[in-house]
Amino acid sequence: MAVCTIYTTQSLKSTCSISTPTKTHLGFHQKQVVFYSTGKRTSKRGSSSSCGPCVITCSAGDSQTVVIGLAADSGCGKSTFMRRLTSVFGGAAEPPKGGNPDSNTLISDMTTVICLDDYHSLDRTGRKEKGVTALDPKANNFDLMYEQVKALKSGVAVDKPIYNHVTGLLDPPELIKPPKILVIEGLHPMFDERVRDLLDFSIYLDISNEVKFAWKIQRDMAERGHSLESIKASIEARKPDFDAFIDPQKQYADAVIEVLPTQLIPGDNEGRVLRVRLIMKEGVKHFSPVYLFDEGSTISWIPCGRKLTCSYPGIKFHYGPDTYFGNEVSILEMDGQFDRLDELIYVESHLSNISAKFYGEVTQQMLKHADFPGSNNGTGLFQTIVGLKIRDLYEQITASKTAAPLEATKA
Ligand SMILES: Nc1ncnc2c1ncn2[C@@H]1O[C@H](COP(=O)(O)OP(=O)(O)OP(=O)(O)O)[C@@H](O)[C@H]1O
Ligand SMILES: O=C(CO)[C@H](O)[C@H](O)COP(=O)(O)O
């Protein structure tokens, strides 16, 4: 009986098959597989054989999950970004059918978005008793987060806990099946190195303190009836842990959307007009940064005039190479806001590498969600573009995994 040993650097998923001239085997998970040509598998290394060349073929199947991480503090626009992203893939994103009405999960045909608050290990009372915030790693279960993201990525369904934001309690778990694209959004997607290594692409929403404050007031005062003092106190109370545990994650992000007060109105910190910077890391696999006019040049552009209507204080773009936490990046910046969203096509036609499937796709997406916060400024524009880049990344990863069979060596 012949014994084959196959060595591969690739993680073999259940959609991989291994063939020898005599047999095809499906569904191995090890990096090194030893099997008998009769089909019986053993974990022991076997010796060489007369099996002939072994070939491993991995096809794109349901278990091929691309994992995206989105990090930001609470109230910084993650849900809005997610709505823009899932819209790029089409289909409505909804909570799991027939499940917990307070589930934080959103599922569409292509994507599943899970909220990392579900990995809080301490409920609201527990945090209060221990005197820790939800931002503190001590209040979160990173081992479970890692195990479950890893399982989903390799095509295995998990029973994920639910943190109930209404009651502040940990509810019974919900079943999450491996999607085509898994987005893990929340406070800590890039905090734990093991989880970070599972990400195919990562984004950090970096909202400056002034703007965060303005948005919080807008939402928590107008919509939730909180007082100005209580909003200030809650931001202050979170700040040390935010600085210690959340903010440092931006150094690992492949793309950062930085939101700052405008520089077009001296001294302005109202948070109404925004200066938004899309910081894109160079050399990330399956991701090529967007550019304005000419790749690698440094360009300032005021598009206001005959083709773009601008009221005070106008719009200014800037593009160029830079460094960010020691990494080479390209930065595209927009300060100001659009008066007429349909005229955005003029700006879009000067941007390259946006991964649109047709001319005007960015403008179409922006018009479709004109009522979302940030649709008239760089937050909406850059979130939409990052959505298209993620679609492109997904398609590239899928295509590369479907491609050529991997020749494996035979012992
Ligand atoms: N681009 C934007 N421009 C202006 N306001 C915004 C923008 N994005 C978000 N906001 C404001 O911030 C609020 C929170 O946004 P969103 O719900 O998307 O954030 P979140 O990070 O998901 O919040 P949470 O984690 O608390 O659920 C919105 O109601 C809106 O007031
Ligand atoms: O930072 C947060 C992430 O969204 C929340 O504050 C955290 O999940 C704690 O939740 P709660 O407000 O229910 O105590």
List, for residues 54-69, the tens digit of each pLDDT value.
444 444 444 589 999 9
Spatial separation of the C-alpha atoms in residues 93 and 109, rounded to whole Å: 8
Spatial separation of the C-alpha atoms in residues 269 and 260, rounded to whole Å: 9
CA of 78 to the centre of ligand 1 (A): 7
Q: Which of 4-13, 203-212, 326-335, 366-375 has the lowest mean pLDDT?
A: 4-13
As a three-state string, the secondary structure of 347-395 is HHCCEECCCCCCCCHHHHHHHHCCCCCCCCEHHHHHHHHHHHHHHHHHH
Ligand 1, pocket-test mutation among 166, 184, 215, 270, most atoms within 8 A of CB: 215
Q: What does R_g of the chain's alpha carbons equal in angstroms?
A: 24
pLDDT of residue 227: 87
User: pTM of the predicted model, to two decimals?
Assistant: 0.84
pLDDT of residue 359: 96
CA of 389 to the centre of ligand 2 (A): 29
pLDDT of residue 2: 42
Asked if the interface predicted TM-score (ipTM) of this complex is over 0.90, the answer is yes
Q: Which of 11-25, 125-139, 345-359 has the lowest mean pLDDT?
A: 11-25
Spatial separation of the C-alpha atoms in residues 350 and 213, rounded to whole Å: 33
Q: What is the mean pLDDT of residues 257-281?
A: 91
Choice between 54 and 267, residue whose per-residue pLDDT is larger: 267
Q: Which residues pair with 351 in a beta bridge?
A: 292
Q: Which of 6-20, 37-51, 300-314, 397-411 has the lowest mean pLDDT?
A: 37-51
Atom of ligand 2 nearest to the CA of 133: 9
Q: Whose CA is nearest to atom 19 of ligand 1?
A: 77
pLDDT of residue 50: 40
> β-pairing, 255-261 with 170-176?
unpaired
Ligand 2, pocket residues at CB < 6 Å: 74, 117, 124, 134, 165, 168, 187
pLDDT digits (tens, 9 = 90+) for 341-364: 999 999 999 999 999 999 999 999
Domain residue extents for the chain = 61-203, 254-399
Q: Is 133 touching ligand 1 by the criterion CB < 6 Å?
A: no
Choice between 282 and 400, residue whose per-residue pLDDT is larger: 282
Choice between 261 and 403, residue whose per-residue pLDDT is larger: 261
pLDDT of residue 36: 35
Question: How far does CA 12 lie from the centroid of its chain?
Answer: 24
pLDDT of residue 33: 44
pLDDT of residue 223: 72
Which ligand number lies closest to the CA of residue 218?
1
Q: Which of 28-37, 227-236, 330-339, 392-401 has the lowest mean pLDDT?
A: 28-37
Rounded percentage of the chain residues whose pLDDT exceeds 90: 69
pLDDT of residue 272: 85
Q: Which among 253, 250, 224 has a CA at the least distance from the CA of 68? A: 253
Q: Is 379 touching ligand 1 by the criterion CB < 6 Å?
A: yes
Sorting pLDDT into bands at 50, 70 and 90, what band is 403?
A: low
Q: Is 126 touching ligand 1 by the criterion CB < 6 Å?
A: no
Q: Which of 184-188, 252-256, 406-410 has the lowest mean pLDDT?
A: 406-410
**Number of Cβ within a 10 Å radius of residue 57:** 14
Count of residues in the chain: 411
**Number of Cβ within a 10 Å radius of residue 403:** 11
**CATH topology for the 61-203 domain:** Rossmann fold (3.40.50)
Sorting pLDDT into bands at 50, 70 and 90, what band is 92?
A: confident
Spatial separation of the C-alpha atoms in residues 119 and 163, rounded to whole Å: 7
Choice between 384 and 64, residue whose per-residue pLDDT is larger: 384
Q: Is 218 touching ligand 1 by the criterion CB < 6 Å?
A: yes
pLDDT digits (tens, 9 = 90+) for 390-399: 999 999 999 9
> β-pairing, 111-115 with 158-163?
unpaired
Sorting pLDDT into bands at 50, 70 and 90, what band is 151?
A: very high
